[in-house]
Amino acid sequence: MKNQVIELLLDRRSVRDFTNQPIDDESLKLIIECGMYAPNAKNKQNWHFSVITNRDVIEEINRITLAGMDRLGIKREADYHIFYHAPAVIILSSMIEGFSEMNCGCAVENMSIAAKSLGIDSCIVGQTRFMYHQSNPIDINRLVKIPEGYEHDVAICFGYRNGPNPEPKPRKEGIVDYIK
């Protein structure tokens, strides 16, 4: 009963070890287009995608976010990189109104699955919210081109995994009830 789509969904993993190989523009545009076609409340499409392939900007976001984590006392490995050195990052932001975070969640999942179908891996990253907690205020929204009136929601990084596809973690039991 499984088909290609089901197999793809079951094979997708959060990858945290990427090669340096860049993602070609055509693939990246296709991934973004799939995000733009995600379900969203009342078809408002109230999101914005900041696509970052500039290594210096990715490293600056990483530095700022780690500073925010440090300021909040969030423990991490000394060499931790929030994007796992992936060559592409998309930061999703949205207008501040109902369901915007859910809309961005749908978009990020669409992009994740689209990427996997192209042989590109991903990891959804929530730690970017800590970039707003560092002690040296800079205009983060300008750095990542978040439009005025929009607020950061989530990020996702993309790249080619370094090594085999991780094995799936066991699924929790007792989390499904059928009511017939």
- pLDDT above 70 for 90: yes
- What CA–CA distance (Å, rounded) separates 84 from 86? 5
Least confident piece of the model among 70-84, 93-107, 111-125:
93-107
- Tell me: the pLDDT tens digits for 140-168? 889 999 998 898 999 999 999 999 988 88
- pLDDT above 70 for 137: no
- What CA–CA distance (Å, rounded) separates 22 from 136? 31
Asked if residue 96 lies in contact with residue 44, where contact means CB atoms within 8 angstroms, the answer is: no
Asked if residue 39 lies in contact with residue 110, where contact means CB atoms within 8 angstroms, the answer is: no
pLDDT band at 123 (very low <50, low <70, confident <90, very high): very high
41: exposed, middle or buried (Cβ count in 10 Å: 0-12, 13-18, 19+)? middle
- pLDDT above 80 for 76: yes
- pLDDT above 90 for 1: no
pLDDT for res 134: 75
Domains of the chain in sequence order: 26-159 (3.40.109.10)
- DSSP assignment of 112-141 equals HHHHHHTT-EEEEE-GGGGGGG-SS---HH
Positive or negative, the CA dihedral 33, 39, 40, 42 is positive
